[in-house]
Structure 1
């Protein structure tokens, strides 16, 4: 059985189709979705991938807007941030790659902490470029404390300076089946480098970190 990954918008769209918010015929429960909440039927809770898959800052806009990134959408790719300059520069390279492959007109990098640009800086930049909706995509694997608390709080603070702008914190990367291919490719490339068949990758270049090690026995 293959895992089907749903984006945040697809998940909300699916729930909207299966269980319209306006329905009053089914017993409802609160599902946390950031500062506001969706009212969804109990049956939907059992079927959904996660009751906290996304933080929706404007419930109405999610149900009425077209599902997909448009010309007036700004996308922020946010990672943790590092004191190591080289690590932060890799995010810039990824954002350029992402923008080139998707064709999205407004894409900005951001670091949650330790480095600039911050989420606030990136949010401001998106609005200055004409965005009327800002989509914050955490470049994180799984939904830990940073996704549950820190990034939504920083997004709230950034949005205070831009009343009327809708914004959304999407799900992290999670259990996306394409990540299997990414990890497999990374392992294969590193083993090829160890065998002397290829140069260091862009992540390891100049570090000398990608090499086999063995500890001598104490006996």
Structure 2
């Protein structure tokens, strides 16, 4: 018998995932998979997992930013950057896909290093397009040095050229349940390609890297 979940404004259903545990949020009668919540740890690495985002403001220090993303918000999706141009161009493709799917009007790509546009370039582009708040989203999996130090420092330096503009650096992708589906889908596609049942994906097309070594 299927259990019916009553429709309510906000219900949280706990699910045991071992130690540490995760949480599923149920909204309007449907489960929404989200980020896994880990307990705080005394170590420095543990503290990094506990930090949800790094935030700074050039103006109105006492106010909290609005939750919704509006027309005056500029989003910057920043990756590491590569000497391989094909890798850098893939970020442009992702940003275009992100912009189309979300409908956000101002979304810019940026590379932390090794390639352009830089974070400074993307920040300025957001301002020229009318942004009064800039949200930098690191296209990184885990909270390493680049998220903890380098990207916030580069963003702060870029913001100095635009007084009165607020900004923030969000958390990296981290431990989100949907990433399990993404990784699993990639593995299955590569196995199908090796078996001759699927074409090469965009990531390795033309490289011959997706093969079985014996």
TM-score bracket for this pair, using the shorter chain length: 0.7 to 0.9
* 3-state SS of paired residue (1:70): coil
* 3-state SS of paired residue (2:91): helix
Q: Which residue of 1 aligns with 2:51?
A: 52
1:110-152 per-residue CA deviation (whole Å, 9 max, x = no partner) reads 0000000000000000000000000000000000000000000
Using structure 1 for the length normalisation, give the TM-score.
0.75
Detail structure 1 runs of 4+ shifted over 4 Å in the superposition. Answer: 48-51
Q: Which residue of 2 aligns with 1:91?
A: 91
Tell whether 2:131 aligns with 1:131. yes
Q: Which residue of 2 aligns with 1:178?
A: 178
Q: Which residue of 2 aligns with 1:212?
A: 212
For the residues of structure 2 that align with 1:142 and 1:196, how far apart are their CA atoms? 34
Residue-pair matches, total: 173
* 3-state SS of paired residue (1:108): strand
1:49-98 per-residue CA deviation (whole Å, 9 max, x = no partner) reads 9542211103534x2x4312111000000000000000000000000000
* 3-state SS of paired residue (1:210): coil
Unaligned residue ranges in structure 2 (runs of 5+) = 1-15, 24-33, 38-46
Tell whether 2:103 aligns with 1:103. yes
Superposed CA RMSD: 1.9
Q: Which residue of 1 aligns with 2:142?
A: 142
Using structure 2 for the length normalisation, give the TM-score.
0.77
Which structure shows the bigger proportion of residues in helix conformation? Answer: 1
Unaligned residue ranges in structure 1 (runs of 5+) = 12-47, 215-219
**Residues 189, 51 of structure 1: alpha-carbon distance in 2 compared, 3 angstrom cutoff:** closer
For the residues of structure 2 that align with 1:163 and 1:6, how far apart are their CA atoms? 34
For the residues of structure 2 that align with 1:176 and 1:195, how far apart are their CA atoms? 30
For the residues of structure 2 that align with 1:6 and 1:128, how far apart are their CA atoms? 33
Aligned ranges 1:2-151 → 2 under 5 Å: 3-4=22-23, 5=34, 50-58=49-57, 60-61=62-63, 63=64, 65-151=65-151
1:13-67 per-residue CA deviation (whole Å, 9 max, x = no partner) reads xxxxxxxxxxxxxxxxxxxxxxxxxxxxxxxxxxx99542211103534x2x431
Q: CA deviation at 1:6?
A: 5.3
